[in-house]
Amino acid sequence: MNFKQYVKRHLIFVIFLLVIGYGIVAYIHIVCPEKIGQPHVRGAEFAFAPVYNKDGSTFHAKLGIGYQQGLLVFESVLTLFATLLLYRMMEYFCIFFGIKRIWSYFVDFGAASALARFPMRLLGKYTLDYWYIRVGHGTYDFFDFCIGICVAGVLIWIIPFSVKYLKYKKQHTAGMNFVQKFVWEMKLSLQLLKTSFCPIKTWWEDISIF
pLDDT in tens, 83-127: 988 888 888 888 888 888 889 899 999 999 999 988 888 887 777
pLDDT at res. 153: 95
pLDDT in tens, 42-70: 566 777 778 777 777 777 777 777 778 88
In a domain, 51, yes or no: no
**Cα–Cα distance for residue pair 154/90, rounded to 1 Å:** 9
pLDDT bin (cut points 50, 70, 90) of residue 155 is very high
pLDDT at res. 209: 38
Count of beta carbons in the 10 Å neighbourhood of residue 72: 22
Mean pLDDT of 185-210: 68
- Looking at the structure of the chain, the number of domains it has is 1
pLDDT in tens, 9-45: 999 999 999 999 999 988 888 877 666 555 555 566 7
- Domain of 158 in residue numbering reads as 3-33+70-123+146-206
138-140/46-53 β-pairing: unpaired
In a domain, 42, yes or no: no
In a domain, 131, yes or no: no
In a domain, 77, yes or no: yes
Q: What is the DSSP string of 141-180?
A: -HHHHHHHHHHHHHHHHHHHHHHHHHHHHHHHSTT--HHH
Mean pLDDT of 188-209: 67
In a domain, 189, yes or no: yes
User: Taking a C-beta distance cutoff of 8 angstroms, is the pair 164, 98 a contact?
Assistant: yes
